[in-house]
Amino acid sequence: MSIASPCSGDSINLLIRRLNARATLSPAEREFLATQHYYTRSYAAGAAVRVEDERPNRPTLIVSGWACREQISPNGRRQLVSLLMPGDVIWAAGERRPIDLLEVVALSNLKVVDIADVTRAITKDPARFPSIVFGLGQLQFAEELNLLEHVVRLGSQPAHQRVAGLFIELYERARSIGFVTGRSFVVPLTQEHFGNLVGLSIVHIHRVLRRFKAEGVLQIRSGLVEILDEAGLARIAESSMTDYPCLPAITRQRVDRPALEMSAG
């Protein structure tokens, strides 16, 4: 199953809401965005998100599914540099940024719309769309901020902190786009993806997650992340090096797997 996908008509409602949260759009701006015509493209999980024959790539909005910017290290390892969720814009208009040089890969089945024409119109007459321009800039800003936190995580934190920090980020981002119901949200990633994000092996990601579940902090069941103890999770992410007793402790964790009934909405 894939995540609930908005139908074509309101596929950019999410973007409008996000922009609106950063700078209130004028009715004219909202009208403009809502009445444009958007081309949809779909990618299978694992596919490179890229417009053929188009270099550099055209500004694109993620409608449903998740993707990442990735870089293959010279040693063959895969590093996921940043995560992209619905409502995120991939190749911003205007000046090229280094991050735009990285390959974008679909982590789940993915639907995007081309917003190249829209952004062209906007940058050609920015005075007409002040809040849109500002909001798009803020979205870029937020992604680069996440990147900086990522550097700190990778460079100076042990496994459990990295994972805790990652899930706090995911939680907040999912909530900001309205994808959290209760304390749960769908994350269409495998443990390998988590590992490639925070620089840990699959096996060790699993060990950390098992620990979190045993401590009632966080739980993942078939792609549904449930934050059981938000404060506890934050405490782990921000604990000093010696505070949190390291992994071994819990040795065995028998899984009494209850029947699942949650839908992936």
Euclidean distance between CA atoms 4 and 221, whole angstroms: 18
Does residue 203 belong to the site contacting DNA (CB under 7 A)? yes
134, 190, 229, 230: which one contacts DNA (CB under 7 A)? 190
For the record, the structure tokens of 15 come out as 């973007």
Question: Cβ-count burial of 191 within 10 angstroms (0-12 exposed, 13-18 middle, 19+ buried)?
Answer: middle
Candidate ranges 17-25, 74-82, 172-180, 205-213; the one touching a second copy (CB under 8 A):
74-82
Nearest alpha carbon to residue 17 among 34, 5, 36? 34
Does residue 1 belong to the site contacting DNA (CB under 7 A)? yes
199, 226, 228, 234: which one contacts DNA (CB under 7 A)? 199
CA angle in degrees (0–180, nearest 5) for 187-15-7: 75
Candidate ranges 24-32, 146-154, 168-176, 190-198; the one touching DNA (CB under 7 A):
190-198
Does residue 105 belong to the site contacting DNA (CB under 7 A)? no
Candidate ranges 117-125, 138-146, 172-180, 257-265; the one touching a second copy (CB under 8 A):
138-146
The residue (of 35 and 251) whose beta carbon lies closer to DNA is 251
Does residue 103 belong to the site contacting a second copy (CB under 8 A)? no
Query: Residue count at the site for DNA (CB under 7 A)?
Result: 30
Question: Cβ-count burial of 79 within 10 angstroms (0-12 exposed, 13-18 middle, 19+ buried)?
Answer: middle
Residue window 146-175: x/- pattern of binding to DNA, with contact defined by CB under 7 A: ------------xxx---------------
Maximum distance among all Cα pairs of the chain, rounded to whole angstroms: 62
Mark 16-28 as b/e (b = at least 16 C-beta within 10 Å). bebbeebbebeee
Euclidean distance between CA atoms 168 and 162, whole angstroms: 10
The item of DNA, a second copy, none sharing an interface with residue 257, based on CB under 5 to 8 Å by kind, is DNA
Which residues are within 8 A (CB) of 214 and not within 5 positions of it... i.e. 6 or more apart?
A: 250, 253
Q: Which residues bind DNA (CB under 7 A)?
A: 1, 158-160, 190-192, 199-204, 206-207, 209-210, 220, 222-223, 241, 246-248, 251-255, 257
Residues that bind a second copy (CB under 8 A): 71, 73-79, 81, 95-99, 101-102, 137, 141, 144-145, 147-148, 150-152, 154-157, 161, 196-199, 237-241
